[in-house]
Amino acid sequence: MDQVRRSRSAMLSGLVLLLLLSGCMYSGQDSRQQAGGYRESVKRVQAAVDDYQAGEGLLPILTSDEMTPRYEKFVVDLDRLQQDGYLDEIPSAAFEKGGSAYFLILNEESDPVVKLMDLVTVQKVNDLQRQVNLYKSAHGGELPAREEIYPGLYAVDTGKAGTEPVKLNSVYSGQQLPFMMDKAGNVYADYAADIISAIGHNGSTPEAGRDLRLELEAASYYVPVKSLPYLWIGGNPVAQAPLE
């Protein structure tokens, strides 16, 4: 098991070096997304949210329950912003206009900030989740698992799950993201390589006990949706399995 984890650590370090040398992490993919209008769209929605909160005394968000994950929870109600005159036009990137993103609010209680939730990522994880659920149901609770890649987290054997490999490209780097699942069969995207690259890009020193997904929040307009918390352990980001 330790050998598998050491191999994964070496793989992550090598991948990050390649990404940094090629210049495609953040400086490339993210700038292309910004050039496509994402930056201005986020700014416009941010201004509308700020004006709405100042004028109405609350945030323009759709209802969600307490179990909704942080990076999916507070979706901006763009229709309300437009109907109430705070937003002249809903951005084309928005799902409401046929786009591939939800506009999301983070830090809702202190300093609300608008980010993007990529719906392609959500859909790809959900597609694999359905296959895992079907396999689990048909095999008495057994999971289509391969090796343990983090404590309590496993690679998904897509062949065993009866599906072709699901390919998911990172919104941060454009590189393919791996999947992982916990002991209950819940599927997540693995953002470890993106986190290492973000840390290397900004030269920060990870703080003990700090959720490293915050590095991705700071580096992009996108949130790491369908993810788990990461802690810096032994010189690498380590995904934290849910408590049983």
Q: Are 104 and 118 in contact (CB under 8 A)?
A: no
Backbone angles phi, psi at 162, to 5 degrees: 80, 30
pLDDT at residue 4 in the model:
40
pLDDT of 183 reads: 97
**Are 233 and 133 members of one domain?**
yes
Residues 76, 14 share a domain: no
Percent of the chain's residues with pLDDT above 70: 85
Count other Cβ atoms within 10 Å, centred on residue 163.
17
**Residue 32 is which amino acid?**
R
> Which domain range does residue 98 map to?
35-117
* Per-residue pLDDT band at 21 (split at 50, 70, 90): very low
pLDDT band at 166 (very low <50, low <70, confident <90, very high): confident
Strand pairing of 145-150 and 230-233?
A: unpaired
- pLDDT band at residue 243, thresholds of 50, 70 and 90? confident
Instruction: Write down which residue in 78, 102, 117 finishes a domain.
Output: 117
Same domain, 152 and 94: no
- Token pair, residue 30, equals 């993210």
| 131 & 107 share domain | no
DSSP symbol at 112: -
Q: What is the pLDDT of residues 40-81, one digit of tens each?
A: 999 999 999 999 999 999 999 999 999 999 999 999 999 999
Contact call for residues 104 and 60 (beta carbons, < 8 A): no
Distance separating alpha carbons of residues 118 and 170, to the nearest angstrom: 10
DSSP string for 33-47: HHHTTHHHHHHHHHH
Tell which of 102, 117, 132 closes a domain: 117
pLDDT at 147 over 50: yes
Question: Does the pLDDT value for residue 10 go beyond 70?
Answer: no
Nearest to residue 222, comparing CAs of 38, 60, 63, 59? 38
How much is the mean pLDDT over the chain? 87
Structure tokens at 42: 């986020």
Percent of the chain with pLDDT over 90: 75
CA distances from 222 to 11, 37, 63, 106 (A): 25, 13, 21, 11
| Structure confidence by residue, pLDDT tens digits, 112-127 | 999 999 999 999 999 9
The pLDDT value recorded for residue 165 is 82
Flag whether pLDDT at 11 surpasses 50: no
Q: Give the burial string for 54-73 (b: 16+ CB within 10 Å, else e).
A: eeeeebbbeeeeeeeebbeb
H-helix segments, the chain: 2-22, 29-35, 38-56, 70-73, 78-83, 119-138, 192-202, 213-219
User: Would you state the pLDDT for residue 228?
Assistant: 98
Give the mean model confidence (pLDDT) for residues 21-48: 65
183-209 pLDDT, tens digit each? 999 999 999 999 999 999 888 789 989
Question: 139 φ, ψ to 5°?
Answer: -125, 35
51 and 167 housed in the same domain: no
pLDDT beyond 70 at 227 = yes
pLDDT for 102: 97
Number of domains in the chain: 2
Residues 135 and 220 in one domain: yes
As a whole number of angstroms, the distance between CA 79 and CA 91 comes to 11
